[in-house]
């Protein structure tokens, strides 16, 4: 799922046929996608020229962009491992993106083959490729839905078939809530999702901010307006509100590389340069 050139150059098949064989026929190749740009940042091959051009503009605004992408994925890995350690065996990953490196089902099922995972994304390439790699895996599924419609996600037949909301669930919202503008009431969306979870469930969130490196962060906010899911940066206080009625797991809401790092060396001297907060909360 990764290219030997580290994500540079043309996607195989794109230049010759116009549409790669892995892309759905109705995919929009003219508008950049955050999910496909994130795939490119991680070295994946499921992106188009428009996504690579967009990411280069993103990277010009925030030179640490690739490091941020990797740090966010590393947080996802640690959070899933933590939740498995706490007894969670079913996961709902909303805004899952394109499965490039280290997906939730690989981590969870690697630790317990019985773990179940439902992936949710609005990006058709993400869903199509997820379904492709999940073929034959009866304990994982991918659905195309919009986070702005939480009821549609929770009531989807595939979600209901795999997940038992009478038992604890691990809800993963990695780098997705900042794609919901204030006018779409992201905190209300979070409330609906939280209320659907059984006691003992966990919620993992990472979210971009302009609390530091404000100029660069605001430039990123402007650049993402090219996409259909522009970024809305929020303060630590606003991000903390997403954990309302949840008990924060130590060390709380911190810079993304500071959340339970595997090694002190993983944090770096300036974790604030990653302009991303992360945390995990437990529903009592």
How many angstroms separate the first and last alpha carbons of the chain?
A: 39
Whole-number pLDDT of residue 93: 98
Beta bridge partners of 142: 119
Express as a percent the part of the chain with pLDDT over 90.
63
126-154 per-position pLDDT tens digit: 898 889 889 999 999 999 999 999 999 99
181-232 per-position pLDDT tens digit: 999 999 999 999 999 999 999 999 999 999 998 888 889 889 999 888 899 9
- pTM, two decimals, is 0.88
Q: Which of 7-11, 21-25, 44-48 has the highest mean pLDDT?
A: 44-48
Compute the distance between CA of residue 162 and CA of residue 140 in angstroms, rounded to an integer. 8
More confident site: 276 or 216: 276
Helices (H) and strands (E) in the chain, counts: 11, 8
How does residue 101 score in pLDDT terms, banded at 50, 70 and 90? low
Compute the distance between CA of residue 142 and CA of residue 256 in angstroms, rounded to an integer. 26
Span 71-215+228-282: which CATH code? 3.40.50.150
63-91 per-position pLDDT tens digit: 999 999 899 999 999 999 999 999 999 99
Compute the distance between CA of residue 68 and CA of residue 256 in angstroms, rounded to an integer. 9
How does residue 25 score in pLDDT terms, banded at 50, 70 and 90? low
């Amino acid at each position: 799922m990764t290219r030997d050139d580290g994500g540079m150059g043309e996607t195989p098949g794109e230049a010759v046929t116009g549409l790669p064989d892995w892309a759905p026929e109705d995919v929009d190749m003219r508008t950049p996608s955050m999910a496909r740009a994130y795939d490119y940042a991680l070295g994946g091959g499921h992106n188009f020229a428009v996504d690579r051009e967009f990411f280069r503009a993103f990277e010009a605004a925030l030179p640490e962009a690739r490091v941020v992408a990797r740090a966010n994925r590393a947080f996802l890995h640690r959070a899933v491992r933590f939740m498995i350690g706490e007894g969670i065996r079913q996961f709902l990953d909303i805004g899952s993106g394109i499965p490039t490196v280290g997906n939730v089902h690989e981590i969870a099922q690697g630790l317990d083959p019985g773990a179940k995972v439902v992936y949710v994304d609005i990006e058709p390439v993400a869903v199509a490729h997820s379904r492709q790699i999940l073929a034959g895996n009866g304990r994982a599924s991918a659905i195309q839905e919009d986070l702005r419609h939480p009821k549609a996600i929770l009531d989807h037949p595939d979600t209901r078939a795999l997940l038992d909301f009478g038992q604890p669930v691990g809800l993963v919202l990695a780098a997705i809530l900042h794609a919901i503008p204030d006018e779409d009431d992201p905190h209300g969306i979070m409330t609906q999702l939280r209320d659907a979870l059984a006691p003992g469930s966990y919620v993992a969130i990472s979210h971009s901010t302009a609390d530091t490196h404000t100029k660069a962060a605001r430039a990123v906010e402007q650049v993402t307006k090219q996409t259909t899911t522009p970024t809305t940066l929020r303060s630590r206080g606003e991000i903390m509100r997403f954990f309302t009625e949840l008990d924060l797991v130590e060390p709380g809401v911190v810079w993304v590389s500071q959340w339970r790092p595997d090694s002190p060396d993983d944090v770096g001297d300036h974790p604030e340069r990653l302009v991303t907060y992360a945390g995990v909360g437990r529903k009592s």
